[in-house]
Structure 1
Amino acid sequence: MTTIDRALIDLNADLGEGFGHWRLTDDEALLSVVTSANVACGLHAGDAVTMRRVCEVAAERGVAIGAHVGYRDLAGFGRRAMDVPPDELAAETAYQIGALEVFARAAGSRVSYVKPHGALYNRAARDPEQAGAVVAGVVLTGMPLPVLGLPGSQLHEAAGAAGLPVVAEAFADRAYTPDGTLLPRGREGAVITDPELVVRRSVGIARDGRVTSAEGTTVAVRARSLCVHGDTPGATDLARHVRAGLAAAGIGLEPFAR
């Protein structure tokens, strides 16, 4: 297979996914490793204090800030299937982006992109109505923000139709199906925690544009950004291994958005 000329990739993680006294992600440590931070905006996780703190550290360390928008589902961490009317979803998407923008600007930065979370990410990848509602929410903010998501998804179709930039994302710590979608979390092997395997997959995606599916087939994955989930067990160590592995393979790390 022909190698893709790819000298740079972005490394992102989901951050700020706590609420009140509950802490899930090691934000301080991960912000020393990643180049982009998908910050929970208060509906699936996060709160005002957490959002402000993550934005301040991200700005200090030159990490791009992205709005990690989700369904209004604190109890289910935004990973439960929900049916939300499009006008409501659009308004709540805009609400989340706007809230994060306040804290990003106060920290001397700004919201640079949007990425849906969990159930919304998966639903918007295949459902044109929900994808359109997310994009309508971005448009409502008046900020032409890039939309980070699965290549070829309904979300990217809707974003492109609205004139928004689209950025293809791949996952270092999640298994793929043969058709290039993510293996559902309820399936065995859906989350990958072996550092050596995660690094091999990351380099394969960044350098060669391919990954091995859960069924052993080769899947084409062309991505500008690579995600390590902040709530994956050992996430910080995984991210450090990925960064080191990419560097050893001659692949540089740089945010796709500023």
Structure 2
Amino acid sequence: MAVDHFAGPVAEHYDESSAAMSAPAVVDPAVDLLADLAGDGAALEFGIGTGRLALPLSARGVPVRGIDLSPDMLARLRAQPIAERIGVTVGDFATSRAEGTSALVYLVFNTVMDLTSQDEQVACFTDAARHLAPGGHVVVEVGVPDLQRLPPGERARPFSVSADRLGVDEYDVAEQRLVSHHWTLTGGHPEARSIPFRYVWPAELDLMARPAGLRPAGRWADRHRRPFTSDSRTHVSAWRKPGEGPEEPRVSRAAR
């Protein structure tokens, strides 16, 4: 059963703790890409959270809906301006069904890793394809597994070290899992939380998309659509649901 790791204080401080991800330099290129892919259609965000991308995408004129497991995160979304435009469904985005069909289904900021088994991640692609209109796209933004930076015999690697925050990823390479441990000082009070994830490789995502009838449509190193290389530490990947009309995906034209 899916577990809500973003309830209570986590949701309350989420926008503050991830403020860097809300900067225009980060948000704008992501919204540009998503709006290009949505075209004249609607978009559906899996793991919509507090609406960091859904709100500006909606302001761009794209009809947006979302699915999220956390009622507390959705409450933060509903408190935002123009949030009334966005329809939300409370549930597990690997299996839940939102109304209607979309031209775009997207997961950003490592959300696909919130699904902690391969079966759940495969089900997520199947669920995404069910929501797509023919010719629509699925987009996933996620980190490339950082195992090259993990010394032999070690299981943990810090990813954030500052005066008020320490973050450490603990890897289980045999099971392809990791647990992100967070220790923070909030208002002078120490807080600790640990969140499980399943990391996933780019080529593995292509295989997960295939049984859902989705075909690769593009892969970039980041939201700016820079080329993906062996040195890239993140990627933004797109898959297309076959439909009528030319097979060349809209994302290829937008990236030129």
TM-score of the pair, normalised by structure 2:
0.36
Quick check: which one's strand share is greater? 2
The higher relative CO (CA closer than 8 Å, separation ≥ 6) is in 1
Larger Rg: 2
